[in-house]
Homo-oligomer: A and B are copies of this chain.
Amino acid sequence: MANARSEVGEGRELSETEALVEAGRPRRPTRARRKKGDGEPVDNTVDILDVAAQCFMEMGFQGTSIDDVARRLGATKGRIYHYYRSKTDLFFDVHREGMRRLNEAVQAAMNTGSCGRETLHAMLEAHALTMLQNIAYLAVVVQGVHMHRLGATTLAQRRVLDEIMAIRREFERLFVDVFRRGQQDGSIRAENASIAVKGMLGAINWTAIWYRPRPGETLEHKQKIARELATRQIEGIV
């Protein structure tokens, strides 16, 4: 980082909680721009987020320059820095969006199944399918997990990173909890929930490494892969 943005000065300072909530989130205008005749307000950050996710997936956080993202957008740095304070903030926002989609899908699956094992199965399948459908965003999430020791972050950014890590731990805890429920209702016989879950999530998350959608790939195909992966984690190969 060329020059650490001074934490003081430049107008009003953000309070502790504001900084924690706002950091990494796109800057919202005070007066949102609306489309020509339409009344719908436009969010110009979605394109940036999509392209950034793609770049981060292909070249990694450090390997991606803001100019790379801008070039792929057919724009310049100015557009990106208009919405994001820093490259790290942009990365975090992609990460956050990925986690949001993942959480949404898995939370929905938690309401299905008649025993712990069946619920877990549904959660794993939902997780896998979400990975395959949002591979760029989720590849960034996977990177983010491995990134929590990068150190070279500012004070505010470390806060956001802690928040993200907390969300991830919470996410993993969902699986452990359902696993334990399955142990109690007798539908799961394996012991050591912690290690078992880490293995299962690894099998799913690994798709971020090997899976790339073929052009024109159908949803059914993705579902088939997701079901296959989830089933193997529940039933094994015997």
Residues of chain A at the chain B interface (Cβ within 8 Å): 58-63, 117, 120, 142, 145-147, 149-152, 179, 182, 187-190, 192, 195-196, 198-207, 209-210, 225, 228-229, 232-238
Contact = CB atoms under 8 A, between A and B. Distances in A.
Given A63-B62, A146-B209, A199 B238 contact: no
Contact of A206 (B58, B60, B203): B203
A199 B204 CA distance: 7
A145 B146 CA distance: 15
The secondary structure that dominates the A interface is: helix
What are the 6 A-B residue pairs with the smallest beta carbon separation, nearest first? A202-B206, A236-B236, A62-B62, A190-B237, A199-B203, A203-B203
A210 B234 contact: no
Contacts of A192: 228
A205 B152 CA distance: 26
Contacts of A232: 190, 195-196, 199-200, 233, 236
A189 B228 contact: no
Nearest to A230: B199
Contacts of A228: 192, 195-196, 199
A195 B229 contact: yes
A199 B187 CA distance: 22
A190 B232 CA distance: 8
A150 B234 CA distance: 35
Nearest to A192: B228
Given A233-B236, A233-B237, A202 B196 contact: no
A59 to B, nearest CB: 6
Contacts of A182: 237
Given A60-B146, A142-B209, 19 more contacts: A58-B149, A59-B150, A60-B62, A61-B62, A63-B152, A117-B237, A146-B209, A187-B238, A188-B237, A188-B238, A190-B235, A192-B228, A195-B232, A196-B228, A198-B207, A205-B209, A206-B206, A233-B236, A236-B238
